[in-house]
Amino acid sequence: MASTETPVPEAEKVAAPPHEAPAVKPEKVEPPPEVKTPAGAPPPRIGYFALADVVLRFLLFASALVAVVVMVTSKQTERVPIPFPPFLAPVSAKFNHSPAFVYFVAALSVAGLYSIITTLLSFYALLKPGCYPTVLSHFVIFDVLLLGIVASATGTAGGVAYIGIKGNSHVGWRKVCKMYDEFCRHIGASIAVSLFGSIVLVLLVLLSIYSLSKKIPK
């Protein structure tokens, strides 16, 4: 059976231009999947700062509590010579006999109360990292103020304790720690713990300043 197709002359065949290539559709680039942070989890850096803040404030509370308890319990009674019969009389040494030690107890009591409040607020900021910079900006002001109070109380009590140990022959102040040794040991231990609390406050101030500096755009 003969074919009915009519051959097309070669001249009529239109060749496609060699420079024209079939259009290639650009591949759709999908963005990388987002890494979602679990709800309630603080960013890593803020979490570390807030956790260190909570630990330091707890240490401040512990040091203030120990210093106050040791100072308040520093009581000792000894029999001292008197110029008339019975020539020996019981005389007690207490912290409230010295205004410097009273100021020391008041300052460390304020530090202990302050540390309780700020520890709770700092723990709340650890759970809610969005409010951490605001809380921190208030903390740094009061931390510096409390550092001055605690440091001055520690220095004042330390000066009086030094006179009790060494005395002062120029003004006739005798060494009382030879007689009231237990009392002086309590005073020295309380001042040493208070000095540790002052160092903790310095670390808190430095931590707050460093944390706030990280929030400043560069």
pLDDT tens-digit readout, 18-41: 555 555 555 555 555 554 545 444
Alpha helices in the chain (DSSP H): 44-72, 99-127, 132-166, 181-214
CA separation for the pair 96, 189 (Å, rounded): 17
Tokens of 5: 């197709």
pLDDT tens-digit readout, 169-218: 887 788 888 888 899 999 999 999 999 999 999 999 998 888 777 776 66
What is the CB neighbour count within 10 angstroms for residue 109? 15
pLDDT for the residue numbered 203: 94
Euclidean distance between the first and final Cα of the chain, in Å? 88
CA separation for the pair 118, 64 (Å, rounded): 14
pLDDT for the residue numbered 17: 52
pTM, two decimal places:
0.72
CA separation for the pair 15, 201 (Å, rounded): 87
Locus of tokens 């944390």: 211
Of 211, 28, 2, 14, the closest CA to residue 125 belongs to: 211
Share of the chain above pLDDT 70, in %: 74
Polymer length of the chain: 218
What is the CB neighbour count within 10 angstroms for residue 38? 5
